[in-house]
Amino acid sequence: MCGIIGYIGEKQAYPIVINGLKKLEYRGYDSYGICVLDNEKVFLKKRVGQILEEGESEFNGCVSIGHDRWASTGGVCEKNAHPHEYNGFYVVHNGIIENYKELKEDLIKKGHIFNSDTDTEVIAHLISEEFNGNLEDAARKALKKIIGSYGIAVVSPKDKDKIVIAKMSSPIIIGICKDGHIVASDPSAVIDYTKQIITLDDGEMAVLRKDSYMILKEKKIETIDWESDSISKGDYAHYMLKEIMEESKVIESATMGRLLDNNVKLGGLESSKERLEEANKIFLIGCGTGYYAAKTGEYLMEEIGGIDAEAHMGSEIRYRNPRLDRNEAAIFVSQSGETADNLAALKKFKDAGVLTLGVTNAIGSTQTRETEGGVYTRCGPEIAVASTKAFIGQITVLTMISIFLGRQRNLSEKKAEEVIKELRDIPFKAELILNNREEINNIVQKYLRFKDFWFIGRKFNYPIAMEGALKLKEISYIHAEGTPGGELKHGPLALIDENCPTVALCPRDSVYDKMLSNIEEVKARNGKVIAIASEGDNKIKEIVDDVIYIPKTIEALTPILTAIPLHLFAYYFALALKRDIDKPRNLAKSVTVE
């Protein structure tokens, strides 16, 4: 690593920068250099070895940058010491420019003459190429061509009275002094002058003047992957039905380009993969349907990811005091990325140094900007207040993240292959359920007289039971509750009678027999039962009142399929009751208030 330092203010710059170089010498002492601007004149000194003061009394001026070098690209010699200059532009740099060779070749073809063997000198040449009177603008354009890491400071007599700085991966701070500003690689070079500092973030630039500073954030241009017709109802009566009918496509788009043979490729996790590998616990945080997706993720992370996981409601965890540390990661699950309770919880986790990631649908939303990485669900716009396709996208993405984490731990290639192979088939299986929607509507018509419903599920399908209850209650205003099947006998069974039907999620999985027992408990109290069951399960048909079949799949993927009939069930119920399906009373699509 190297040390960079600079000063601009009312005082003579040389003593401050030389002092800073001495403080930063621990970062690199192969060579050092300093330049001082005095109006049009520039004093430049570069030496190999440790810092020696040689009575540079003539180094007058109030703008200066300096550099302690630990040689990375280019040997230890005076010409490779920073600052590097070209055509009146002086640069000091901490970092690695990975594509400097290609850039240098292009510049040489344009007639540029290079004086050093370093990667850094390329920056001075690029700035010179882009310069048209404004130094920060030229630097911004130059840095767009660079691949790699940098913490740089740039000065020029061609746009004097400023230092332009920029950061990507290499640390840079600004010291706010009474008489000016100091830029440095770390606080050790500013502490003699100020304790007020600003830390630049990746992608940020700043322009320092003697009496002001301006931080420039290069906003990433993101492409919304929506088509204009995607925010129209098309031929559907309601957005909600349109969005449910898109659920098979959502699974396809959420997995598109992300499924490998025995792993997944999630670009948004790349920069966090080391920390995820070291993580010993995953928090999953959401609200409403987002929480139920997070809760499903808890089972997925445990079962496939091989890591401890805890799901929390944003509205609760934000007021609690869990013990948090850097060995944990927190995944925030939100369609809008604007839910106030989630964002408040996000700040708590970030302040505690926890790695924060998002599973988000809305591109460019606050959650995507405030988290350190994440995975988009790619559902397209979701307009109906009741979240349906976004929920399917969320649990699909959480399934992939659990594979990612599992492959960093003890998930075998063979097991990962099995899950991924099945995940590839899920869109087709989801489509089969959607094609069966009229049968679901016919079942709904038999239950319209009831005012109370119970939803039960176990393990992966416990959160889906809660999701089904939420969908029904929020758009039909019918009372519904979701609970683990095993909890019925601990109280809720008292509610069950001929007036309170139960929807039982009972796919062929590891808790199938337990769910059958729960169904028997309900039937013994004259409760009607609608089962969501696996195709070919004729046994359950003999026990319950109605069956909605879903295609067989592996246990961990059943939530994606069991949720779809529950979304349709809620939709047709609300339709029959003539509710305002897309805009149910008292609610809003995105709860940006607390």
Mark 538-568 as b/e (b = at least 16 C-beta within 10 Å). Answer: eebeebbebbbbbbebebbbbbbbbbbbbbb
By beta-carbon proximity to ligand AGP, the closer residue of 255 and 387 is 387
Element of type H or E holding 415: helix 413-435
- CA-nearest of 503, 476, 478, 491 to 572 is 476
The residue number with the shortest CB distance to ligand AGP is: 288
3 state DSSP class of 57: coil
Distance between CA 415 and CA 462 in Å, rounded? Answer: 24
Structure tokens at 316: 């609760």
Cβ closer to ligand AGP: 118 or 356? Answer: 356
Does the active-site annotation cover 473?
no
Task: For the CB of residue 202, give the shortest distance to ligand AGP in the complex, in Å.
Answer: 26
20 or 286: CB nearest ligand AGP: 286
Point out the catalytic residue in the list 145, 160, 473, 589.
Answer: 589
Q: Which residues bind ligand AGP (CB under 6 A)?
A: 287-290, 334-336, 339, 342, 385-387, 474, 590-591
Name the one residue in this structure whose structure tokens are 């969501």. 532
> Minimal distance in Å, beta carbon 563 to ligand AGP?
12
Q: Considering beta carbons, is residue 236 or 512 the nearer one to ligand AGP?
A: 236
Strand partners, 66: 5, 34
In whole angstroms, how close is the CB of 335 to ligand AGP at the nearest point? 4
Q: Which of 149, 102, 101, 110 is nearest to 128 (CA)?
A: 110
466 touches 455 (CB < 8 A): yes
Rounded alpha-carbon distances, angstroms, from residue 324 to 312, 319, 327, 351: 14, 14, 8, 10
Query: How, if at all, do strands 308-313 and 197-199 pair?
Result: unpaired
Closer CB to ligand AGP, residue 151 or residue 290?
290
φ, ψ of residue 259 in degrees (nearest 5): -100, 120
Q: Are 275 and 329 in contact (CB under 8 A)?
A: yes
Residue 295 falls in the annotated catalytic set: no
Query: Which of these is catalytic: 2, 35, 379, 500?
Result: 2
The answer to whether 63 and 1 are in contact (CB under 8 A) is: no
Shortest reach from residue 485's CB to ligand AGP, in Å? 23
Q: Which is closer to ligand AGP, CB of 363 or CB of 591? A: 591
Taking the CA atoms of residue 40, residue 43, residue 44 and residue 45 in that order, the dihedral angle to the nearest 10 degrees is 180
User: Closest CB to ligand AGP among 529 and 575?
Assistant: 575
Shortest reach from residue 341's CB to ligand AGP, in Å: 8
Closest C-alpha to 194, from 179, 208, 214, 210: 179
Catalytic center residues? 2, 589
